[in-house]
Amino acid sequence: MRYSIKEGMLSWLLHRLTGIGIFIFLIIHVMGAIYLKIGPEEWNHHVELFNTPFFRVAEVGLMGAILWHGLNGLRIIIIDFSGIRTSHFAKFLFWIIVFLTILLMLPGTYILLKPLFEGVAG
Amino acid sequence: MSILVNLRSRQGFIEMLRVFRIQRFNPEREPNQWVDEYTLEVNEDDKILDILLKIRDEVDTTLGFRASCAHGVCGSDGMMIDGLNRLACQTFVGDVPGRKPINIAPLKGVPVEKDLIVDMDPLLDKVKSVNPWVVAKEHKAGERELLMSQEDFEKIEDMTKCIWCSCCTTSCPSLWSDSDYLGPQALVMAARFILDTRNEDAEKIIEKVGGLDGVFRCHTIGNCTDACPRDIDVTGAIAAVKKVLLQGIDNEDKFSNIVWEKGDEKE
C-alpha cells in the first residue's frame, strides 16, 4: 500500500529523477572530453554521435530535466522565504513551473528535432 | 467535515458494508507480510479505531495495533489510512468517501514490529538529539519564574501543540530515502526551542539542525503539514529554522556569534 501522491511529492520525485539524470549526463559529458586527448579524428567521431536521432531526442529530455530541476529549486526557495504559507500557494507554484518547463522547452525542442524531420523530407 | 458526517448519519442511520484492507506483519510467520480483508457493517460516523477494536475483539484476535486515549491526545495510534498518515481515533469511515475499500497500513520509513505497530525509538531518538528543552538562564534574586511575552509565545504556540505521534516524520519522502534525516517532528521541536526566548542554548540546536542531514533536506513537499492531526504548519516551522540559519534571528545579542554575518545588523 503506497502513500497517496500529491503535487509536493510529485515535484520531489521529479527533482530526484532529474537530479540523477543530470548527474549521469555530466559523467558522459566529462568523460567525453578524454577524446580531445586521443586525437581530432576520434573527437569528431565522438561529437558526431550527438547528431544521431537517439541523442537528439535524449537531449530534449536533458533540457527538460535541467529546466525542471532548476525551476523546482527556485520553487522551494520561494515557498520557504516568501512567507506565504498555504498549501494552495505551493500547489499553484507547482503548476506554474510545470507550465514554465513546457513553455521553455518548446523553442529548444524545435531547434533540436528540426534536423531529424528535414532528414526525413530530404 | 466530520461533524457534518456525524449529523447526517445520525438522522438517517446509514448502515453500509465497507471493506477494510489491513496490511499485516508477523515476523514469525511465512510469508511474514500479507494483506487481510475484512467486510463489516459500519456507520459513516464510526471511527477507524472502533473498527480496529471490533475486528480484534470479534473477528481476528491476532491483529496488533497501538491505541491509548482514543481521543487524539496521546498520539499512539498513528497509521496510514487510505494513503495518508492520520490518527485512527480521529478518522471517520466517512472521511474516506465512496464505497471503495479502506486501506490501513503501518507508518512508513520505520521498522514494523507487528501488524500496525512500528518501532518508534529511532524517531524519538532523533527528536531527543536536537535538545528539545529549555536551558534556563540563571535566576535573578527575587525572580520566581521565567516569563515570556504574549507576542513571543504566539510565535511558537502552533508548535507547542505537537503530540509526538510521528505522523509527519513518517509521511516525509525525504526521510524514506535518507533514514539519517532528522525529519519534520524533530525540526518542529527544534524550531519551537530555537524561537523560545527563555532558551539560552539555542545555538546548540542550530548547530545540530544545520548539518547534512538537517533542515536543508526538506524539499517543501508538504506531506507533513497534510498529515499533522493537530494542524501544525510543519513545513512552515521548518522554513522558520531555515530562515534562522540563513538570516539570523531578530534577537541580535543572543544570536550574534552564530550563523552567517547579517552585515549591518543593528539599525
CATH number of the CATH domain containing B33: 3.10.20.30
Is A62 contained in some domain? Answer: yes
Indicate if B50 and B150 belong to the same structural domain.
no
The string over B183-203, giving b where at least 16 C-beta atoms fall within 10 Å of a residue's C-beta and e elsewhere, is: bbbbbbbbbbbbbbbebeebe
Supply the range of the domain harboring residue A117. Answer: 7-121
Indicate if B214 and B259 belong to the same structural domain.
yes
Q: Considering CB atoms only, which of B103, B108, B221 is closest to A9?
A: B221
Q: Identify the domain boundary among B92, B118, B144.
A: B118
Supply the range of the domain harboring residue B58. Answer: 2-118
The model's confidence at residue B61, banded by pLDDT at 50, 70 and 90, is very high
Query: Does B242 contact chain A (CB < 8 Å)?
Result: yes
- Measured from the Cβ of residue B106, the count of other Cβ atoms closer than 10 Å reads 25
Is A114 contained in some domain? Answer: yes
Q: Considering CB atoms only, which of A7, A76, A85 is closest to B219?
A: A76
Total domains in chain A come to: 1
What are the cell numbers at A100?
Answer: 514554465
Indicate if B111 and B130 belong to the same structural domain.
no
Is A26 contained in some domain? Answer: yes
Query: Does A88 contact chain B (CB < 8 Å)?
Result: no
Strands B102-105 and B117-118: unpaired
ipTM over 0.90: no
Indicate if B34 and B99 belong to the same structural domain.
yes
Indicate if B81 and B125 belong to the same structural domain.
no
Indicate if B107 and B127 belong to the same structural domain.
no
Tell me what pLDDT residue A24 has.
93
Give the CATH number for residue A44: 1.20.1300.10
Q: Dihedrals φ, ψ of B251, to 5°?
A: -80, 90
Q: Dihedrals φ, ψ of B24, to 5°?
A: -110, 155
Worst-scoring range by mean pLDDT, A45-54, A78-87, B148-157, B206-215?
Answer: A78-87
Total domains in chain B come to: 2
Mutation site, B220, B223, B241, B244, interface A, largest A CB count within 10 A: B220
Indicate if B200 and B98 belong to the same structural domain.
no
Distance CA B66, CA B90 (A): 14
Indicate if B113 and B128 belong to the same structural domain.
no
- Measured from the Cβ of residue B48, the count of other Cβ atoms closer than 10 Å reads 26
Chains A–B, number of C-beta pairs less than 8 Å apart: 62
Tell me what pLDDT residue B14 has.
63
Is A1 contained in some domain? Answer: no
Q: For B230-244, what is each residue's pLDDT tens digit?
A: 989 898 889 889 888
